[in-house]
């Protein structure tokens, strides 16, 4: 077994880097394990992040890793935590290269995996001209020919959301959505066209969507497409450590946390997309920072009797 850490942060995206930075400034022996699979890696730029608007995600994360290098108590390493278990007051975490590390606290920041529709032609367009969040990509899609592919109650909501960025919006129901009279009235009032044909393919070039192909052989020229992309946990570590997961608005297996970012497993914390109701970079950074401060205070409680939780319970 190698080093005994005060905290192991699992995940090197926005939440994990933010948490490790705060823990480093708190002079806590921290290991950050980064599998190198941030969920926004397909996007050409980050939208709406103060001070970094338009910066490529990879560049932001590289800047974060450089900042961590200033803090001698923090070690960054590439790899994946493949399993974990609690032994007494410690956690034993096994990495993909066989190394095993010990930690007093674990901070999960493994993020989520997006699951967009299984449509031919989608993969090279994903994160560019086919997207899941209008607030992240809407500005780049402004005044273009847009469509949304959605079902159920979200269909009307998604189409009306896009109207904030373009006057040319088409709702694609894919032949599966029965819109009620009120929904159709609201869409018509917003000048949103409804197309009920079956979608069979997305056509594009170099990451740019050019058309949506239908089962009848026709094509609808479009420049951008908003799709539903449910989230799924990318790591089983939370469950291995005993942290409860539950149904969230965007995922069936969201890690449950309280107001202090504590999971149901003692000394296991979580931050970022894996437990968020609405994933976005700014929120992940804030959650990582907040969680790290709570982790540091919990360690001080062990050492010096600092009142914990800091706000009661």
Residue 310 lies in a domain: no
**Is residue 107 within 8 Å of 10, Cβ to Cβ?**
yes
- Asked if residue 110 and residue 129 are part of one domain, the reply reads no
Q: What is the pLDDT of residue 1?
A: 45
Q: What is the pLDDT of residue 303?
A: 95
Q: Domain range for residue 11?
A: 4-114+230-304
What crossing angle do the helices spanning 14-25 and 57-68 adopt, rounded to 10°? 20
CATH number, position 271: 3.50.50.60
- Asked if residue 8 and residue 88 are part of one domain, the reply reads yes
- Asked if residue 210 and residue 128 are part of one domain, the reply reads yes
Domain boundary among 227, 246, 270: 227
Residue 312 lies in a domain: no
Question: How far apart (Å, rounded) are the C-alpha atoms in residues 282 and 284?
Answer: 5
Q: What is the pLDDT of residue 313?
A: 52
Q: What is the pLDDT of residue 310?
A: 72
Question: How far apart (Å, rounded) are the C-alpha atoms in residues 229 and 46?
Answer: 18
* Average confidence (pLDDT) per 10 residues, the chain, 313 residues: 85 97 98 94 93 96 98 98 95 96 98 94 97 94 97 90 97 87 94 96 97 98 96 93 88 92 97 87 96 98 90 53
Q: Which ranges constitute the DSSP H helices of the chain?
A: 14-25, 57-68, 134-137, 154-162, 181-189, 237-240, 281-304
Residue 39 lies in a domain: yes
Q: What is the pLDDT of residue 151?
A: 84
Domain boundary among 181, 203, 227: 227
- Asked if residue 143 and residue 132 are part of one domain, the reply reads yes
**Is residue 170 within 8 Å of 222, Cβ to Cβ?**
yes
Q: What is the pLDDT of residue 246?
A: 86
Question: How far apart (Å, rounded) are the C-alpha atoms in residues 279 and 43?
Answer: 14
């Amino acid at each position: 077994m190698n080093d005994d850490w005060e905290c192991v942060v699992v995940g090197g995206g926005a939440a994990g880097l933010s948490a490790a930075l705060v823990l480093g400034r708190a002079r806590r022996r921290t290991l950050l394990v980064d599998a190198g699979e941030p969920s926004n890696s397909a996007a050409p730029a980050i939208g709406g992040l103060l001070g970094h608007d338009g910066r490529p995600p990879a560049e932001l994360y590289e800047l974060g890793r450089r900042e961590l290098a200033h803090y001698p108590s923090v070690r960054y390493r590439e790899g994946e935590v493949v399993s974990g278990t609690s032994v007494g007051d410690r956690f034993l975490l096994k990495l993909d290269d066989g190394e095993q590390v010990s930690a007093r606290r674990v901070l999960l920041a493994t993020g989520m995996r997006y699951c967009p529709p299984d449509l031919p032609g989608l993969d090279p367009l994903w994160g560019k001209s086919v997207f899941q969040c209008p607030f992240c990509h809407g500005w780049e899609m402004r005044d273009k020919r847009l469509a949304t592919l959605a079902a159920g109650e979200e269909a009307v909501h998604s189409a009306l959301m896009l109207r904030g960025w373009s006057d040319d919006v088409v709702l694609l129901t894919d032949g599966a959505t029965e819109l009620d009279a009120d929904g159709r009235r609201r869409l018509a009032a917003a000048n949103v066209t409804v197309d009920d044909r079956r979608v069979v393919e997305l056509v594009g070039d170099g990451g740019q969507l050019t058309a949506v192909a239908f089962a009848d052989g026709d094509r609808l020229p479009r420049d951008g497409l908003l799709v539903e992309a449910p989230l799924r946990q990318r790591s089983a570590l939370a469950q291995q450590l005993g942290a409860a997961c539950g149904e969230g608005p965007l995922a069936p297996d969201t890690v449950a946390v309280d107001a202090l970012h504590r999971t149901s497993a003692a000394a296991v914390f979580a931050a970022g997309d894996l437990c968020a109701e609405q994933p976005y970079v700014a929120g992940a950074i804030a959650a990582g920072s907040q969680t790290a401060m709570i982790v540091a205070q919990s360690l001080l409680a062990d050492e010096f009797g600092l009142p914990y939780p800091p706000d009661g319970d």
